[in-house]
Amino acid sequence: MNEQRRAFESYSDQRPEDDRDTSSPKNDYVRAWDLPTRLFKWSLVALIITAWISSSFDDPDMVVHKAAGYGVLVLVVYRILWGIVGSSTARFSNFVRSPSAVWNYLKALRRKRAGRYLGHNPAGGLMVVGLLLVCAIQGLLGLFSTDGVTAAGPFAEAAGDTISGWAARIHSIWFYVAILGLAGLHIAANLYYQFVKRDNLIGAMITGRKTRANYVDRKETQGGSLLLAAICLLASIGLVYGTISLLGGTFFNPT
């Protein structure tokens, strides 16, 4: 009788696990990107496009263009903060690798032996750092730029006509060479992984999920608090606004 009872209890303990629906589509995916990281990416894309298009608006003071530029600077600062305290795949410590690691990954990729990454692979991590750097430089150049008529950045007057004129020319060239160049390379790489490697990078940056697999870096991302992301965003706004204000810059006032 006792043996039958123990057998029944053992069966009862196993049933919840045995009855789980392991064929559920949810079990085929893992969390790859947190919501703040995804919102950052698409917001940065939207602001860059807005800044590009608005540069040709009939807007003598370039208010829309400036607003987009300030937004880009805020997002760059935000991504740096989020790269320190964000989710595991968003942290720089998870994807920034040495030049030799990047080179070894590219060689393995060429031989079709590269491992799959849940987050950024070594080459993708280098691309992220590069895009943040060129966007930061573009935004900083805008702070010192002027068209010589009405539109001017907050520090153009303090820099003087010569320096602000040079900053404006470099600002224009830098966009087409550095930002569009890296953006084009980034898009091409994503299309390669999407259609050749069959790694759904584009979809993952929209849904936040990837197919379950044996990833090199980690099984599933952890962290990504929305409250912490909001704090980082507010801190970024404060840093950009505060720094420009403390240095005597004005945001939208025409010269």
What pLDDT score does 90 carry?
97
Tell me: the pLDDT tens digits for 140-156?
Answer: 999 999 887 778 899 99
d(CA 44, CA 144): 21
**Where residue 72 sits, what CATH number does that domain have?**
1.20.950.20
Measured distance CA(233)–CA(236) in Å, rounded: 5
- Residue 118 confidence (pLDDT) above 90: yes
Residues above pLDDT 70, as percent of the chain: 89
**Residues whose CB is less than 8 angstroms from the CB of residue 62 and which lie 6 or more positions away in sequence, other chains included:** 54, 55, 147, 151
Q: Is residue 26 part of a domain?
A: no
User: Is 46 within the bounds of a domain?
Assistant: yes
- pLDDT at residue 60, rounded to an integer: 82
The DSSP line for 195-210 is: HTS---HHHHHHHSEE
Q: What is the pLDDT of residues 8-60, one digit of tens each?
A: 344 344 333 333 343 445 579 999 999 999 999 999 999 999 999 998 887 88
Give dist(CA 168, CA 254) in Å, integer: 16
Chain-centroid distance, C-alpha 238: 20
Q: Specify if 29 maps to a domain.
A: no
Burial track 184-214 (b if 16+ CB lie within 10 A, e otherwise): eeeeeebeebeeeeebbbeebeeebbbeeee
Evaluate if residue 99 carries a pLDDT over 60.
Answer: yes
Whether the pLDDT of residue 73 is over 50: the answer is yes
Domain assignment present for residue 3? The answer is no
Query: Does residue 91 have a pLDDT over 90?
Result: yes
What does the pLDDT read at residue 191? 95
Residues 6+ apart with CB under 8 A from 84: 91, 92
Tell me which of 15-29, 112-126, 186-200, 227-241 is least confident: 15-29
Q: Is the pLDDT of residue 2 over 80?
A: no
Asked if residue 23 belongs to a domain, the reply is: no
Is 10 among the domain residues? no
Q: What is the tens place of the pLDDT at every residue in 218-233?
A: 899 999 999 999 999 9
Is 198 within a domain? yes
89-101 average pLDDT score = 96
Q: The domain containing residue 146 runs over which residues?
A: 35-246
Asked whether the whole model's pTM tops 0.85, one would answer yes
Residue 194: inside a domain: yes
Total structural domains in the chain?
A: 1
Is 215's pLDDT higher than 50?
yes
The residue-averaged pLDDT of 198-224 equals 93
